[in-house]
Amino acid sequence: MAGKFITIEGTEGTGKSTNIAVLEAMFRENGIDCLRTREPGGSAIAEKIRSLLLRNGEEKPADLTELLLIFAARAEHLAKRIKPALASGRWVLCDRFTDATFAYQGGGRGLSGESIATLQTLVQGELRPDLTLIFDLDPEIGLDRVSRRGNLDRFEREMIEFHHRVRRHYLDIARREPERCLLIDATGSPDEVGRRLRGAVIHRLPELQ
C-alpha cells in the first residue's frame, strides 16, 4: 500500500521546521515510518539547485528562470526520493512543495498561475499531497523571528509587500481546497502552536486516533 504524502507550508518564520519535528515524532509514536525532506532540495542534484535559488549575489535569476529551476529540483526530488518512498509504503513529510510555488512565484512574483499549473502537471503527473498543513502568521512577525537568526536568504530579504502577497495566496489556497488543506494559526509559543497542530492532525488522520 502506498504511503501518505504530507506537505508543510507557510510564509517565513512560521515555525515549519519545529512543527515538522512534532509531526515526525507523532508518526513514529504510532509506528509510522516516514521520510522527512524539504524543497527546494531533498536529493543531491536538487540541493545544488537549492543553493543557486537561495544564495544572495550580485546577479539574481530572472523570475522565469527561478520558476524553472524550482521545478527542475522538484523533478529530481520526486524521482529520487518522494516517489520511491511512497511506493514502498512510507509516509513523506515535505517542508514545502508546489503550493509554495503558487504562493511565492505566483503570488509573490506575479507569474502566471496557468504556467505554474502546466509545469505541475508535467513534473508531477497526478501526484498531489494527501494533506497540506499551512501555518499562518502575520509576515511582519515572521520576518522579525527570522531576522534574529541572521544570515537571511534571498527570499527572506524580499520587501514586506512580497511576503504579504505570498500570505494572501496561501490563504486563498486554503479556502479553495479545504478537503486537502488545514490552516494552522502560528501565533504564540511553539508549545501552543504544537498543541493546535496535534489536535488538527489527529482529527484529519485516522491512523493517529
**How much of the chain exceeds pLDDT 70, in percent?**
99
Please list the ranges in the chain whose pLDDT falls under 70: 1, 209
pLDDT of residue 1: 63
Q: Cell 502552536 appears where?
A: 193
pLDDT of residue 160: 95
Q: How many C-beta neighbours within 10 Å does residue 136 have? A: 18
pTM: 0.94
**Top-level CATH class of 5-208?**
alpha beta
Question: In 78-127, which residue ranges form alpha helices assigned H by DSSP?
Answer: 83-87, 98-101, 113-124
pLDDT of residue 57: 77
For residue 92, report the phi and psi dihedrals to the nearest 5 degrees: -120, 125
Rounded Cα–Cα distance for residues 11 and 202 (Å): 24
The set of residues, in sequence order, having a beta carbon less than 8 Å from that of 138 and lying 6+ positions away, is: 167, 187
pLDDT of residue 130: 96
pLDDT of residue 59: 84
Domain ranges for the chain: 5-208
pLDDT of residue 200: 92
